[in-house]
Amino acid sequence: MRVSIYKKLREIPDGYLGVLSIIFMLIPIIYPMGLPLQISEPTRGFYNTLRNLPEGSIVCIDGGGGFASLDEFESSITATMKVMLSLPIKWFAWGYSADGPILMDMVLKKINPDSFGKVYGEDYLVLPYIAGGEMAVASVASDTHNVATNDYYGNDLTQYPLWDELTGAEDFALVITISGSCLNMDQETRQWYTLYDIHLLEINMACCSPMSMNYFPDVMPGGLWGVKGGTELEVLSGFPGPGARLSDTQNLALMPFLVFLILGNIGYFGSLYLTKEEDM
Amino acid sequence: MSREVRRTIPLYLIMGLTIFFLIEYFADITAITGIKSEITVWGTIVSGFMLIFGAVLLFRHHFMQLAVRNVGQREKILSVIFFVSFLAFLLIGFSTPERTSGTNYQWIYQNMYRPAGTAITALCFWWCIYGGYKVFTIRSWESAAIGVGAVIYMLRLLPIGPVYVPALAPFADWLLSTINVGATRGGTLAIGAGSLVLGMRTLIGKETGALEAVQEG
């Protein structure tokens, strides 16, 4: 009795799946592909919203996310920081997750805000992690001065001129939310848009875009999801970053998933409808 | 303290706070808004203490694993790993005045914590590939809709997709912004309705789900 091709397609050993996936991921690292990108509407909205902020506007950054998924949104955060530092606006970030402020600090050290002519405490501030999840968002929105006394670096906040300008949601022109949760936009909308009519921009993982699209473009005029979002902003803003290289890797890393999904289904349908009984 | 008292006091606290927050939302009274802000800030302070409480519980659990409980060699090794990594992060964090913004702490974050986290994420990705191959077979119209939608959207996510099939980008964007939004908004509405029911039950003191876990069986 011979085994049908369809049955074989259903039973590819796990090792082959792993080896093929790794090969696909290695190809763009050895041979960068540099494929052209089509800028999506949420990225365009993200960029335009930042560009259209009036001079002196204050942006609040709810800095969440974690290091485990940093590869997904490092390019987005880096490109966003560069765009914001190049504009005549002010911003502050606070830690929505424990990793948030550390991540923000690392990105800032890499891009060096001084080179953009920005001064810490006058143009931007980094606050520490504030525990409480959605409750922390509500606290920052209702009474910013009450949530922290020192910045992330342990310095007294009262010495910074920007701190005097941050009393609550009424002072903020926009909120940028960074998260690794697909329910992020639900709670951010509840605390910022519903209560204070403040629009949001989101930076999140690629898999969360279907949930976040609920809020585009009325509540959230733009969003960057996954490496693709970051790479698009790099292209749109003219600030190159790590996105292009990661984008190539993602290109081929997702390929095995698609290939095996299709192969598995060909095998399933083939063994169901096209296989003779003696071949089973 | 009896179980009844342990249940009743938190229940009335939740009821009272819910009513207070509702009044604050609908009535624009400055004094009430001030109290609400203060209570919210208390919440973040309590959450901060909960982190310490969580760390103490974690310590207690692993100490019991090592010193008291009769567990296997593997569990004991895992507890030792916990103690070593926990104390290493703590000591390195406190070893410099810069704390978590210091070079040492960020070095272990960047070179140990990040690769470990990325490896776990990559492992999850591998299981996605494996699951997609082994389990995701199109057996009904519903699974066909999910499967075809997923393939189209993934091809859209890859820059390579729209480069070779230009029509893919607008079609996938339409799927995401129209079909997907319709479906997920339905889910969001259902969650909203559920939350409303939960809120009503809390208001009349019927919702005890947040207070105690009931062991079944």
Report the C-alpha dihedral over residues B121, B125, B126, B131, rounded to 10 degrees: 130
ipTM summary value: 0.82
How many domains does chain B contain in total? 1
Residue B149 lies in a domain: yes
Q: Report yes or no: B159 at the A interface, CB cutoff 8 Å.
A: yes
Contact across the interface for B44 and A132, Cβ inside 8 Å: yes
Task: Choose, out of A254, A255, A266, the residue to mutate when testing the contact with B (most B CBs < 10 Å).
Answer: A254
**Domain membership of residue B185 as a residue range:** 136-206
pLDDT tens string A159-190: 999 999 999 999 999 999 999 899 899 999 99
Contact across the interface for A256 and B128, Cβ inside 8 Å: no
Tell me what pLDDT residue B184 has.
Answer: 87
Q: Is the pLDDT of residue A216 over 60?
A: yes
Percentage of residues in chain A having pLDDT higher than 70: 93
Task: Choose, out of B25, B41, B171, the residue to mutate when testing the contact with A (most A CBs < 10 Å).
Answer: B41
Residue B86 lies in a domain: no
Residue B106 lies in a domain: no
Kindly report the number of other CB atoms within 10 A of residue A184's CB atom: 25
Q: Is the pLDDT of residue B215 over 60?
A: no
Mean pLDDT of B21-45: 88
Residues near B55 by beta carbon (within 8 Å), at least 6 away in sequence: none
| Distance (Å) from the alpha carbon of A5 to chain B's nearest alpha carbon | 16
Residue B51 lies in a domain: no
| Distance (Å) from the alpha carbon of A39 to chain B's nearest alpha carbon | 10
Tell me what pLDDT residue B216 has.
Answer: 53
Nearest to B137 among A147, A154, A268 (CB): A268
A64, A114, A280, B108 from A101: Cα distances, Å = 8, 19, 58, 16
Residue B195 lies in a domain: yes
User: Among all chains, which residue has been given the structure tokens 């530092």?
Assistant: A85
Q: Report yes or no: B178 at the A interface, CB cutoff 8 Å.
A: no
Q: Which domains can be identified in chain A, with CATH numbers?
A: 5-31+254-279 (no CATH), 41-241 (3.40.50)
Cβ atoms of B61 and B82 within 8 Å: the answer is: no
Kindly report the number of other CB atoms within 10 A of residue A40's CB atom: 24
- The token duo for A17 is 């799946």
Residue B4 lies in a domain: no
Q: Which residues of A151-167 are buried (b: 16+ CB within 10 A; e: fewer)?
A: bbbeeebeebebbebbe
| pLDDT band, very low/low/confident/very high, at A125 (cuts 50, 70, 90) | very high
B:119-148 residues touching chain A, CB 8 A cutoff: 120-121, 125-126, 128-130, 132-134, 136-138, 147
Bond prior to A217 in cis (omega within 30° of 0): yes
Nearest to A257 among B44, B48, B128 (CB): B128
Tell me what pLDDT residue A55 has.
Answer: 96
Cβ atoms of B56 and B64 within 8 Å: the answer is: no
Residue B6 lies in a domain: no
Q: Is the pLDDT of residue B80 over 90?
A: yes
- Answer yes or no: pTM beyond 0.90: no
pLDDT tens string A12-49: 887 887 788 778 777 777 776 667 778 889 999 999 99
Q: Of the ranges A8-22, A111-125, A141-155, B169-183, which one carries the lowest mean pLDDT score?
A: A8-22
Q: Is the pLDDT of residue A277 over 70?
A: no
| Distance (Å) from the alpha carbon of A156 to chain B's nearest alpha carbon | 14
| Distance (Å) from the alpha carbon of A192 to chain B's nearest alpha carbon | 14
Q: Is the pLDDT of residue A141 over 90?
A: yes
Residue B161 lies in a domain: yes
